[in-house]
Structure 1
Amino acid sequence: MCGILLHHAGDDDLYHLKEQFLEFPEGSLSSKRCSDGSPIFNSIIPYISARGPNYSSLRVSKKYKTAWYSSVLSLRQPFTCQSIEIEERYVLQFNGELYNHEIVHNDTQYIVGLLKESAPSIPAIIKKLNGEFAYSIYDIQNGTFYFGRDTVGKRSLSYFLDENTGEFYLASVTGSQPNFIDCTAGIIYQYSTRSKKLNSDLSISSPYEIATTMDQQLTKLPNCIDGLFEHLNKAVHRRIVSIHPAHIENSPISILFSGGLDCSVIAALICKQLSNIKKEKKPILELLNVGFENPRTGMLPKDVPDRKLALSSSEILKNLYPDVTIKLVNIDVSYEEYLEYRPKVIDLMFPKQTEMDLSIAISFFFAAKGSGYTISKDGIKEKYQRKGIVLFSGLGADELYGGYHKFANKSPDDLAIELTRQINNIYDRNLNRDDKVIANNGVEVRYPFLDEEVIKFSTMEIPINYKVNKMILRKIASEKLNLATISDEPKRAIQFGAKSAKMTKDGNKHGTDILTS
């Protein structure tokens, strides 16, 4: 994973700086030593650095009037510096993980190999990629920037273009910089520095469509349970084996864990995979559970619904998977700490700026930060800091299997329309915001439910009546993973389970209200 930032100066003469390529190893203060002459570019650098703490670099080209700043979180060998100039023809920045079966080692090097082929079509290359990613590719010969996100939009990416001057910016996260536009998922954007025109007509694939097939007799249910379980299991497998073995050997895998159905299914599948990996010591899974001190309710973090549920669900998982060391990391957020970090989270999640966005984003921010404690068998609290740098998430299950309460009484046709809208809009509704706040902690999040094959199977092969209150997923939990007790748990949004919503006694606030200072 990495952070992407570039600036093309257009008609402005900002590149009085010398041609250069500066590298900043882990621990270097790159933001103190970088400048391309643009205050916007320089102000964004710290946000990009935080996403990739292992390495960062600045590339400045006077000839192309462009500066690239990249940061790297190293998860695959061989280690690959970014940005990469390829045979004086392309400059590549890649943020994410690919799961194409033909990739042997590093996924960025896989793209480099495709670009080195004779007369490659960049859109055709992008369409081959399967995973969680955002990218920028500069075609030096044609003076064209290609950029975008995967079909679902699991990595954030925003751009700003001044059509008069041709000045162009691209960044993974921008803070509260105005005028930036979040990229739509699945669009291959093309910006020509010669014509100063932006083309966004090319898509990686068509929008997802939820099938309206009904099966009132449940004759297809056993096959659907088997099929979905197989696809989910493979999705988790891909996301584990693509981590370099040294990471799994020496560091835990983490999961954003409320204790509910979606994350417990993913946690169980992770445990199944880790149990099959031969290692000298037991693998570790960190369950990251966050709770807030809420002055409005008077509730303490240890008493919030998600903490109680996580305690019971983690015990079930520990009993099922004794070959995996499962650590429930209790992350307690005091009201003072909430107030301290509130401005930072609001800045990170921009342009999202509602009360609901904040209550969700700040939960994920603290969960990913991972500063908490575990409880020993003797009941003793032991301070604990998250060690995993790969975080799993159960996001996507509600959108694919009808988990939201508002879906409960919809007709089959209306449910299909609503779920189609939800999965195609998840990049804007959730993923832009979540990736910005989570990755700021120098970690990468992976989404098995949003795997391409899982989505295709879930949208096309599963009858719509199996998606009432996530019936199909509850069946998998109880019949395939022995999570019968957890499978009965009702849906509870993280902001209500962690009590991060409505943190003040002003009871008139609504989730859709715009934030005030």
Structure 2
Amino acid sequence: MCGIICAVTSSQKPSVEFSIVKNNLKSRGPDFFAEKVISLDCTWNSYFAASILHTQGKFLTKQPIITSKQDILLWNGDVFGGDLISKKLEDVSDTQLVAAFLEKTDGNILNLLTIIEGPYSFIYYNQNQKLLWFGRDPLGRHSLLWKLSCKELLVLSVGHKKIPNLREIPASGIFCLHLDKSIPSLCLYKWSHWNECLFSCEIDFPIDFRICDEKIHNFHFRNLWNYSNHTFTSPNFFKTNSNSSDILNIMDDLLLNSSIGESVDQLLDLLIKSCEKRIKICKNICKNCTTEDLCSKKHAKVGILFSGGLDSTVIAYIANKFVSHEEPIDLLNVAFNRNGSFNVPDRNTAIMSFRELSSLCPNRIWNLVEINITEEELIETRENHICNLIYPLNTILDESLGCALWFACQGKGFVDNIPYTSTSKILLLGTGADEQLGGYVKHKNLLKRCNWHKLWEQLLKETMEISKRNLGRDDRIASDSGRQPRFPFLDEHLVAFIAKLPSWQRCDPISFPPGAGDKLLLRLAAVKLGLRQCAIFPKRAFQFGCRIAKSKEKGDKNSERL
């Protein structure tokens, strides 16, 4: 994980905006920071900087990288799969791999992005062609912001409220700024799966902008919107002949159905592989140690954002398979003081799921980190710091989710009533499960009003729009802890598999009660793993489960507190 920033300006000096965001950038990558001021030509000057969190490769790869051809690369990403990783040596970081490919292919950035699986944001300047490329992966899993005018371009991982007019860069494609003239022009190379009917990329900057005819093809998302083979009239797929009123008994019966069992097995296989690569592709070192030799086996390297609900408990159970049994796993659970107590719903479910995990995995040390936040601490940190990480988003929902996530990811709490700060360097989050598998009440309401076809379309739309609603904000918030957030439910293979499933194979919120029908496919997977208790916990929004949000406030309204 890195913090990256680039500014291209016609003035002689970098803007004061760089100094404003330096500390936030350094928090994302506490292991190294460097900056370079470079004259691109007689018209344009540039400023590049990067902070590094060392997670891959034997040795830290310093950035900005300047190639022998004087190209400049800032790479904030993880190569988890694709053709590029087949050439990777164990001691080589993905940044070195990306830089080597670009140098070998004379800066063919578009070809590079077709063979990469994994989350990324990047900035790349091609000196020979006078082109500045930048963008995010097709799901927008890493943050990237921008501010653009005829005389200056600012692109960076994290902003600040003192920098006006910053926006999140759309994940609709890769942008290219032409700097071969005194007045720059901007092009967008769209992802081929980007659906014109449902999405648009509106650019209202005062600059020449066009969408190029050439598109970037992602192997996993080809034919994403092709639903010609779907049956949108429910064949009562999840109906059962069981006379039992017990939900778990009904789920046991459902798992005996061959079609259902096959879908559950495929879901689990892909989720297990997703968790495996997100745990194993990382240096075996905790956040506090400098070398593997110095890092104790008793230091947790992996943490889970843990509400104790379905998504986080399934991820925790799978993580147990790939973390050395000599190491603990940190379960980070946050609660906000309401009426003098931290006894909130998410704390209760966390304790119950912690006990279930301990029973199923008795050889594992699970650190249930109870993070208790007072009203005073919330107000002070939100006003002085968190508001700048959430920016440019500004709704009440952004505020409550952003603040809760920030305190959780800091990992400062208690284990068995003893003060403890998590040493984990990698954090696994359950983001994306609700959008893909029908976890929200609005999905039930939509199905009541419309049909399975509309629900399928809505689930896919929410999945592809998650970049602008959640992921940029969550990346900025979580990375501020100096830990790297990773999202197993947003692996390309898993997203592509779920997208091809008819909506009635993912959920049935009408036939089943809460705690069963929403995300039913994942609940069945949990039952198959043996997680019978968490499989029937009702869905509860994070902001309400930890008691940071006030139920009377509407989440889509702008927050005056931000």
Which amino acid is 2:398 matched to?
D
Shift of 1:62: 2.6
| Aligned residue runs from structure 1 range 226-375, under 5 A | 226-247=265-286, 249=297, 250-274=299-323, 277=324, 282-294=326-338, 298=339, 300-301=341-342, 303-343=343-383, 344-375=385-416
Indicate if the aligned counterparts of 2:284 and 2:301 stay in contact, CA closer than 8 A: no
Which amino acid is 2:177 matched to?
Y
**Given the alignment of the two structures, is residue 497 of structure 1 paired with residue 523 of structure 2, yes or no?**
no
Which amino acid is 2:48 matched to?
W
Taking the aligned partners of 2:106 and 2:301, their CA distance within structure 1 comes to: 42
Taking the aligned partners of 1:210 and 1:326, their CA distance within structure 2 comes to: 43
TM-score (norm 1): 0.88
Taking the aligned partners of 1:364 and 1:454, their CA distance within structure 2 comes to: 24
Instruction: Give the match for residue 53 of structure 2.
Output: 73
Instruction: Give the match for residue 225 of structure 1.
Output: 264
Shift of 1:209: 3.7
Instruction: Give the match for residue 509 of structure 1.
Output: 553
The one of 157, 170, 178 equivalent to 2:164 is 178
Shift of 1:210: 8.4
**Change over 3 Å in CA distance of 1:205–1:111 after alignment to 2:** farther
TM-score (norm 2): 0.81
Deviations 1:467-494 (A, max 9, x none): 2311110010001x10011100111011
| Aligned residue runs from structure 1 range 321-470, under 5 A | 321-343=361-383, 344-375=385-416, 381-409=417-445, 410=447, 411-461=451-501, 464-468=504-508, 469-470=518-519
Shift of 1:463: 5.1
Instruction: Give the match for residue 76 of structure 2.
Output: 95
Indicate if the aligned counterparts of 1:151 and 1:205 stay in contact, CA closer than 8 A: no
Taking the aligned partners of 1:109 and 1:332, their CA distance within structure 2 comes to: 41
Which amino acid is 1:54 matched to?
D
**Secondary structure, aligned partner of 2:533:** helix
Which amino acid is 1:367 matched to?
A
**Secondary structure, aligned partner of 2:506:** helix
Shift of 1:369: 0.7
The one of 124, 128, 132 equivalent to 1:137 is 124
Which amino acid is 1:497 matched to?
G
**Secondary structure, aligned partner of 2:372:** strand
Deviations 1:305-329 (A, max 9, x none): 0000000101111111123211100
Instruction: Give the match for residue 18 of structure 1.
Output: none
Worse overlay, 200-209 or 258-267: 200-209
Taking the aligned partners of 2:48 and 2:30, their CA distance within structure 1 comes to: 17
| Aligned residue runs from structure 1 range 90-239, under 5 A | 90-100=71-81, 101-102=85-86, 103-104=88-89, 105-163=92-150, 165=151, 167-176=152-161, 177-195=163-181, 196-203=184-191, 205-206=193-194, 208-209=224-225, 212-213=230-231, 214-217=234-237, 220-239=259-278
The number of aligned residues is 473
Indicate if the aligned counterparts of 1:173 and 1:348 stay in contact, CA closer than 8 A: yes
Which amino acid is 1:345 matched to?
I
Taking the aligned partners of 1:168 and 1:162, their CA distance within structure 2 comes to: 6
Identity of aligned residues (%): 29
Shift of 1:95: 0.9
Shift of 1:96: 2.2
Taking the aligned partners of 1:318 and 1:499, their CA distance within structure 2 comes to: 26
Which amino acid is 1:95 matched to?
N
Shift of 1:205: 4.5
Indicate if the aligned counterparts of 1:188 and 1:204 stay in contact, CA closer than 8 A: no
Shift of 1:4: 0.6
Shift of 1:204: 6.4
Alignment RMSD (CA, Å): 1.8
Deviations 1:114-142 (A, max 9, x none): 11214452111122221111111110111
Instruction: Give the match for residue 39 of structure 1.
Output: 16
Taking the aligned partners of 1:8 and 1:288, their CA distance within structure 2 comes to: 40
Which amino acid is 2:525 matched to?
I
Structure 2 runs not aligned, ≥5 long:
196-223, 239-257, 287-291, 509-517
Shift of 1:42: 1.9
Indicate if the aligned counterparts of 1:5 and 1:45 stay in contact, CA closer than 8 A: no
Structure 1 runs not aligned, ≥5 long:
15-36, 376-380
**Secondary structure, aligned partner of 2:457:** helix
